[in-house]
Amino acid sequence: MPAIASRQLLYYIPLSAIPGRRPADGTESFLRPEVGFNPNWFHVRCGIDFSERWHEDPGFRLETLRVMADEVRRRFPDHAFSGLDPDGEPRDALTGAFGAAAMGRILGLSIRYFPNAWPANVGPSLPDDAAARLEPPDLVGNAFFQGILRQADRAAELTGTAEGYLHWQGVLNTAYRLRGEAVFTDLIEDPPRAHRVFEVVTTTMIEGARALYAHQRRHGFEVRFLSVANCMLNMIGPAQYREHLLPYDRRLREAFEVFGIHNCAWSIDPHMEAYAGIRDLAYIDMGLDSDLRRARRLFPRARRNLLYTPMDLKRKPWAAIRADLNRIAEELGPCDLGLPDIEADVPDERILAVLGYCREVSARYAQRSQAARAEP
């Protein structure tokens, strides 16, 4: 089934995949939990090997997704996991491939695979002269990117659709993978060199996403959005972001119909004002230390998401977690509650308790909304 064009994006974590986004459909609960188990969770419980074959072979990946689906449905029977049909059959055979390492590989880095973790880019950082002369790759002649397109074809053969999303990362994230810490010194000592790398990354993201989306469209699956990952943004100040990177995020926004920004679980307060200047954000996430009321005020039409860390999920007493969930609903809702990167040592009972309390909170706010509409 084609993805629905939407002006909001949801937090989206298919089984074992690195978190991404997908279009909302308007049926979301007030406090919508999205649970994501990392590869090690499935490696420990199901014996699944996430080495190179898992990322290169959609058929093998689909077989393992069925095993994973059976496991999570047995443990969490009342929760609908992303990427699965109502009967539990996996329908998304693409999301998760190459984790966050695809963009780095397209731009020349290698990938190291692990049996129980997401893959990682490896390779020497670009030297100064190579960074200054960097050019966008020829995607038609890029063997790795063409392999991704073939995976979309194979996914369509296996499932009837090329549903799924590649993780395109973000401008600074990928620039850091290419340059290492030199990307930060470039911002001070040689801004043109930094901007050369930013330009190439941005161009490659746009051209790559458009090419993949066109390929998926031929198989009946429509993607009209781009979501970027600004995980590294807390390494620079708001003035540096406005001057050096905001123009590229704006360019990415204008290249696609719908646009969202991921930030990781840190406070977005220093960058909130700049983000608010990006037209029609469809998604924004943040950590618990952020000013949640201000975020709701500045991003009233975006789907907001609070990223709740696996450390808090595991270590905080239940009373503290419940207080956090009440605060999130009161100050940020309606919103998603992101529960990413859950490790194998987090008790099922804790996850079940959070899922149950989210249902309770959502029901409470739904009753309030109905009562408000009924008032004369």
Query: What was the pLDDT predicted at 375?
Result: 62
Report yes or no on 271 lying in a domain: yes
Q: Helix 182-189 vs helix 191-217: angle between axes, to the nearest 10 degrees?
A: 120
The 10s digit of each residue's pLDDT in 184-211 is: 999 999 999 999 999 999 999 999 999 9
Residue 3 lies in a domain: no
Q: Do the domain assignments include residue 210?
A: yes
Q: 16-41: per-residue pLDDT in tens?
A: 999 999 999 999 999 999 999 999 99
Position 371 scores a pLDDT of: 67
Polymer length of the chain: 376
Tell me how crowded residue 57 is: count the other CB atoms within 10 A of its CB. 15
Distance CA 136, CA 123 (A): 18
In a domain? residue 1: no
Consecutive H or E run containing 286: strand 283-286
Q: 56: how many CB neighbours lie within 10 A of its CB?
A: 15
Has residue 133 been placed in a domain? yes
Q: Yes or no: say if 123 and 109 are a contact pair by the CB < 8 Å rule.
A: yes
Please answer whether residues 122 and 64 qualify as being in contact, where contact means their C-beta atoms are separated by less than 8 angstroms: no
Query: Which residues on neighbouring strands pair with residue 335, listed in sequence order?
Result: 31, 304
Average pLDDT over residues 297-313: 98
Give the structural domain span for 227.
Answer: 9-374
CB 45 within 8 A of CB 317: no
Distance CA 10, CA 337 (A): 10
- pTM for the full model? 0.94
Which pLDDT tens digit goes with each residue over 88-134?
899 999 999 999 999 999 999 999 999 999 999 999 999 999 999 99
**Whole-number pLDDT of residue 86:** 87
Mean of the pLDDT values across residues 307-334?
A: 98
* Structural domain includes residue 4: no
- Asked if residues 37 and 116 have their Cβ atoms less than 8 Å apart, the reply is no
d(CA 52, CA 68): 18
CATH number for position 146? 3.20.20.210
- Please give the C-alpha separations between residue 321 and each of 64, 221, 308, 315, in angstroms, as whole numbers: 32, 38, 10, 10
Number of domains in the chain: 1
pLDDT tens track for 233-277: 999 999 999 999 999 999 999 999 999 999 999 999 999 999 999
Strands, E assignment, 123-161 = none
pLDDT at 1 over 80: no
Q: Is 171 left (phi over 0), alpha (psi -120 to 50) or beta?
A: alpha
> 347, 356 in Cβ contact below 8 A?
no
